[in-house]
C-alpha cells in the first residue's frame, strides 16, 4: 500500500509538471501572438478549482488529471464564449471532450486564434510539444552538470544459442560503438538496439574490458523479441558485467541437487563435462548448455580435485520469466571500480550532451512507432498510467538523477508523440495548417470533424490497450 501511494505521488508530480509545461507552451505562445485565452486547464472534465488570472484568463483544475487544454477565442468559432467562461461554459458539459485545437474555423476578431496568420497559429500549436522537448534538454543538462554515473558496457554470462552467442561476443568484451555511434553506457546501447529491431547492428568491441584487441561483430536482430517484462540484454542472451566474481562458491542451497551431491561453500568449480570453467560465467553457460541431463561436475577442495554426477532440475526464474536448469549454487560478486564511471560536464558540454541525448531519444521514439506499425515490435510494449506510475516511484527510489532522467524521457515522449500527424494531436493540426499554407484555403470543416473523430478513436483505443497491458503485467 505504501509503495502504491509513493508511486502515485511521484506519478502526480511528473504528470502535473509535464502537463503544465505543455499547456504553458500553448498559453505563452497564444499571449505572444495576442490571442485571447479563456481558460488554461490542468485536466479534463468538470472544473473542481478555478481562479481568474491578471490577463482575464481562467486557470482551472479539472477532475480527470490525464492531460489538459488551453481554450482560446476563435478556436471553435464561438466568439461569445468569453461571457460564460468564468462561470462555467459549454465546455463544462459532460457530453463534450476537451482537446487542444479540435475544431478550427474562421472568425474575424483581431484577438481570435482563427484570425491569425498560418505561421502564428502553427507557432501556438507547436509550442506545447516543443516546450516538452526543451524541458527534456534542460533536465538532461542539469543531470550532466550534477554528474552522470554509467556502468560501462562490458558483456558477461553469454547464453549458448543466443543472439550474442551466435555473433561470437565474448565475456569481458567492452562495447565501444554501435554502427559508428559512441556508447557511453548500457542506456545508449539499449537505445540503439531497440531502434534497429528487425535488422542488424555492427558493434565495435574491445576485449578484456577495453584492454585487449579491437574487433567488429554483427548482432542479427531479426529474431529479437522485445518484451517489456524481460530485460533487453537478457533477450540478446547476455548480462552486464557488474563486478569481479569470487573463485569459490559462496552459496549452496540446502537440499538442492548440489548439496545432496556433497558440494559445499568454498569449493571451486574447475570443469563441467570435461570442459574447463575458469570463470563463473563459464559455469553458468555450461549448466545452461547441459540442460536436464546428468553432468560430470569437477570441483576443487583443499587443493584436491573431486568429481560428482549432478542432474540439474528445471526451476522457474522470476527475473528471466522462464524455466532454467538449476543445481542450487551461487557466487559472490566484488566491486570493480573501473566498471562504474562518474562524469561531470561543464555548462557548454552539458548542453551539447543534452542535445545529443534528446535527439537520440526522439529518434528512438519515432523508430519504435514505425516498428509498432510494421509489426516488428508488439503492442504489448505500449505502457499506460500504471507502468508510468511504477517508473516514477522506482526512479525516485534510486535517486534525484534517476528521477530527472525519467522526467526527461517522459517529456520527450509527450513532445514527440504529440507531433505525430494524428488528428486531435498537435501534429494533426499542423498538417491542417500546412494544407492551408500550400492550397491557400482551410480544410473543409466537415472533413476535419470526421478526421478528428477518427483520431480520437485511435487515441482512446491506444489508451485502453496501454491500460490493458498495465493490468496484464500486474
Would residue 23 show up in a list of annotated catalytic residues for this protein?
A: yes
Task: Give the up-direction half-sphere exposure of residue 274: CA atoms within 13 A in the CB hemisphere.
Answer: 0
User: Quick one: how far is CA 100 from the chain centroid?
Assistant: 25
The whole-angstrom separation of Cα 238 and Cα 217 is 15
Mean pLDDT of 195-222: 90
β-sheet bridge partners, residue 39: 58, 71
pTM equals: 0.70
- Whether 122 shows a pLDDT value over 90: the answer reads yes
Give 310's pLDDT tier (boundaries 50, 70, 90). Answer: very high
- Whether 134 shows a pLDDT value over 70: the answer reads yes
- What are the helix and strand counts (H, E) for the chain? 13, 20
pLDDT of residue 62: 83
β-sheet bridge partners, residue 306: 299
Q: What is the pLDDT of residues 443-459, one digit of tens each?
A: 888 888 888 788 777 76
| Site of grid cell 567492452 | 174
pLDDT of residue 294: 94
Give the number of residues written for the chain: 474
Give 374's pLDDT tier (boundaries 50, 70, 90). Answer: low
DSSP labels, 31-87: HHTT--EEEEEEEEEEEEEEEE-TTSPEEEEEEEEEEEEEEETTSSS-TTGGGGTTT
pLDDT of residue 82: 45
Q: Give the phi and the psi of residue 324 in degrees, each rounded to 5.
A: -135, 150
**pLDDT: is 259 or 15 the higher one?**
259
Q: 218 to each of 146, 241, 384, how far by Cα in Å?
A: 35, 20, 34
Mean pLDDT of the chain: 80
Mean pLDDT of 295-315: 93
pLDDT of residue 247: 87
Mean pLDDT of 135-143: 92
pLDDT of residue 361: 84
pLDDT of residue 434: 93
The whole-angstrom separation of Cα 474 and Cα 471 is 5
Q: What is the pLDDT of residues 151-191, one digit of tens each?
A: 889 998 888 888 999 999 998 899 999 999 888 888 888 88
Write a three-state SS string for 329-396: EECCEECCHHHEEEECCCHHHHHHHHHHHHHHHHHHHHHHHHHHHHCCCCHHHCCCHHHHHHHHHHHH
pLDDT of residue 205: 94
Amino acid at each position: 500500500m505504501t509503495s502504491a501511494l509513493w508511486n502515485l505521488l511521484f506519478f502526480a508530480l511528473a504528470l502535473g509538471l509535464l502537463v503544465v509545461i505543455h499547456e504553458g507552451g500553448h498559453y505563452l505562445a497564444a499571449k505572444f501572438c495576442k490571442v485571447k485565452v479563456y481558460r488554461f486547464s490542468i485536466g479534463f472534465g468538470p472544473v473542481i478549482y478555478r481562479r481568474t488570472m491578471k490577463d482575464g484568463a481562467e486557470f482551472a483544475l479539472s477532475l480527470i488529471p490525464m492531460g489538459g487544454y488551453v481554450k482560446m477565442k476563435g478556436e471553435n468559432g464561438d466568439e461569445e464564449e468569453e461571457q460564460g467562461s468564468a462561470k462555467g461554459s459549454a465546455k463544462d458539459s459532460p457530453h463534450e471532450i476537451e482537446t487542444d485545437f479540435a475544431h478550427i474555423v474562421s472568425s474575424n476578431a483581431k484577438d481570435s486564434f482563427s484570425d491569425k496568420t498560418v505561421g502564428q497559429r502553427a507557432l501556438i500549436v507547436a509550442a506545447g510539444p516543443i516546450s516538452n522537448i526543451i524541458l527534456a534538454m534542460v533536465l538532461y543538462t542539469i543531470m550532466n552538470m550534477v554528474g552522470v554515473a554509467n556502468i560501462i558496457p562490458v558483456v558477461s554470462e553469454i547464453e549458448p544459442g543466443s543472439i550474442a552467442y551466435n555473433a561470437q561476443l565474448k565475456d569481458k568484451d567492452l562495447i565501444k560503438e554501435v554502427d559508428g555511434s559512441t556508447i557511453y553506457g548500457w542506456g545508449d546501447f539499449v537505445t540503439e538496439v531497440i531502434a534497429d529491431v528487425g535488422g542488424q547492428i555492427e558493434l565495435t568491441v574491445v576485449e578484456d574490458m577495453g584492454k585487449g584487441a579491437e574487433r567488429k561483430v554483427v548482432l542479427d536482430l531479426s529474431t529479437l523479441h522485445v518484451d517489456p517484462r524481460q530485460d533487453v540484454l537478457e533477450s540478446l542472451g547476455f548480462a552486464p558485467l557488474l563486478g569481479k566474481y569470487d573463485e569459490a562458491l559462496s552459496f549452496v542451497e540446502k537440499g538442492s541437487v548440489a548439496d545432496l551431491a556433497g558440494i559445499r561453500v568454498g569449493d571451486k568449480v574447475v570443469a563441467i563435462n570435461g570442459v574447463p570453467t575458469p570463470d563463473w560465467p563459464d559455469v553458468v553457460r555450461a549448466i545452461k548448455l547441459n540442460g536436464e541431463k546428468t553432468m560430470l561436475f569437477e570441483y576443487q577442495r583443499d587443493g584436491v580435485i573431486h568429481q560428482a554426477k549432478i542432474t540439474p532440475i528445471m526451476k522457474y526464474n522470476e527475473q528471466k520469466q522462464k524455466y532454467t536448469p538449476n543445481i542450487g549454487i551461487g557466487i559472490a560478486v566484488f566491486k570493480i571500480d573501473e566498471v562504474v564511471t562518474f562524469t561531470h560536464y561543464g555548462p557548454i558540454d552539458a548542453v551539447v550532451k543534452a542535445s545529443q541525448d534528446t535527439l537520440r531519444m526522439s529518434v528512438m521514439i519515432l523508430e519504435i512507432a514505425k516498428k509498432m506499425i510494421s509489426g516488428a515490435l508488439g503492442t504489448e510494449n505500449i505502457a499506460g498510467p500504471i507502468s508510468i506510475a511504477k517508473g516514477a516511484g522506482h526512479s525516485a527510489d534510486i535517486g534525484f538523477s534517476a528521477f530527472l532522467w525519467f522526467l526527461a524521457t517522459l517529456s520527450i515522449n509527450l513532445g514527440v508523440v504529440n507531433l505525430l500527424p494524428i488528428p486531435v494531436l498537435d501534429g494533426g493540426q499542423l498538417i491542417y495548417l500546412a494544407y492551408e499554407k500550400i492550397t491557400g484555403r482551410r480544410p473543409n470543416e466537415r472533413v476535419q470533424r470526421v478526421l478528428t473523430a477518427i483520431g480520437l478513436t485511435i487515441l482512446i483505443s491506444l489508451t485502453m490497450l496501454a491500460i490493458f497491458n498495465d493490468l496484464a503485467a500486474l
